[in-house]
Amino acid sequence: MLSRRVIACLDVAGGKVVKGIRFQSLVAMGDPAALASKYEADGADEIVFLNIAAASEDPRALLDTVRRAAELLSIPLTVGGGISSLAQIEGMLLSGADKVTINSAAFSQPSLFSEAAERFGSQCIVASIDAQRDRAGWTVYSRGGRARTGLDATRWAAECTERGAGEILITSIDRDGTRRGYDLELTGKVIEAVRVPVVASGGAGEVAHVLEVLGKGDADAALVAGILHDGTCSVREIKTAMRNADIPVRWAA
């Protein structure tokens, strides 16, 4: 079994890491590059920068932040938020990002996955999917969870990989921000539907939730944000618990 990954996610706006509730009442928490470096030192396997101001900011505004972080990091850096063209993907990769996430743009131009994979390699193209449970299963939403697409999450995940995405980042809208734990059923359905690594996101409230999704849930990686930022736990504590639970881990205290 491959080692499971713990990924620290930083929401970025205006060149700063921000924290808020449903992207509102945002409070600046520090410099993205410095915080990313701190999480690497604590044992994070990867870092994700999510540009939550993509709708109002020029995507190029994030490039300097990516460059500064890439100079400090030796672990993979993924960047997402508002990326909608091959030129933007290239800009992020040339600035030092190892992977980019594609979300809303894929619904209007699904060929972006295949074009990006052909040009840059599928290993650096991540399909980011936000899904909410309904009577039939889970429906995909775009534009930060505001627009219902009508697409089934597992079918869309499979299509994204067929088109060239090399990884799936699946976020449960129902669990996001609740700290009640990841949606194991949703994550499991997506894992069954694809043959690429699946990253679980949304709902982490304590170390036990990360162990659950990486162990019982069988996810390849867990995205963690709030509980790291507010000091509820550290990457070091998560990875030590993973080792004690016999979950394959790349780093332990």
Which active-site residues does the annotation give?
Answer: 11, 130
Taking the C-alpha atoms of residue 122 and residue 72, their distance in angstroms, rounded to an integer, is: 25
Exposed (0-12), middle (13-18) or buried (19+): which is 23, by Cβ within 10 Å? middle
Two tokens, residue 160: 């994204």
**Vertex 173 angle, CA 15 and 6, to 5°:** 60
Q: How many C-beta neighbours within 10 Å does residue 251 have? A: 18
The DSSP annotation for 2-55 comes to PPBEEEEEEEEETTEEEEEETTEEEEEEE-HHHHHHHHHHTT-SEEEEEETTTT
Contacts of 236 (CB under 8 A, 6+ apart): 42, 43, 253
**Contact yes or no for 196/163 (Cβ under 8 A):** no
Q: Which residues pair with 48 in a beta bridge?
A: 9, 78
Which one, of 44, 53, 47, 54, lies nearest residue 32 by Cα?
A: 47
